[in-house]
């Protein structure tokens, strides 16, 4: 078994796709509209679904915003140079909610970014 994808509900599909592609460097792998049930699915990742887990963005056409709730934590993405990655994200208009630095009680260097819907994304140096 393996993890296939993580699904996030998004209010503005194109804004979310732009963030994950333009700011985080993912590729839009596929997109599907379901006219009958009024939703669109978009799958994004750093490679094909067959090679690793991807993000599924679900846009329900009649919903304009979501409550993130208290159960959601974050998505983690590994990067080679967290400082340059954060600089690139900020220059692309992304929101850095925690600047790079050691995790509390440890030495792993992490940072956090928020996507347009407020979902937290953890960046981890060297993973």
Active-site amino acid positions:
122
d(CA 44, CA 46): 7
* 113 CB-side CA count, 13 A: 27
Residue whose structure tokens are 């600047």? 99
């Amino acid at each position: 078994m393996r993890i296939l994808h993580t699904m996030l509900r998004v209010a503005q599909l194109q804004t979310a796709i732009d963030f994950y592609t333009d700011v985080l460097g993912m590729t839009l792998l596929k997109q599907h509209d379901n006219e009958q049930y009024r939703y669109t699915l978009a799958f994004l990742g750093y490679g094909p679904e067959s090679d690793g887990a991807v993000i599924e963005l679900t846009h329900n056409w009649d919903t304009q915003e979501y409550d993130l709730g208290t159960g959601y934590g974050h998505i983690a993405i590994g990067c080679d140079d967290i400082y340059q990655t954060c600089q690139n994200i900020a220059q692309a208009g992304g929101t850095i909610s925690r600047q790079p630095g050691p995790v509390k009680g440890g030495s792993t260097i992490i940072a956090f970014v928020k996507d347009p819907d407020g979902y937290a994304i953890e960046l981890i140096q060297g993973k």
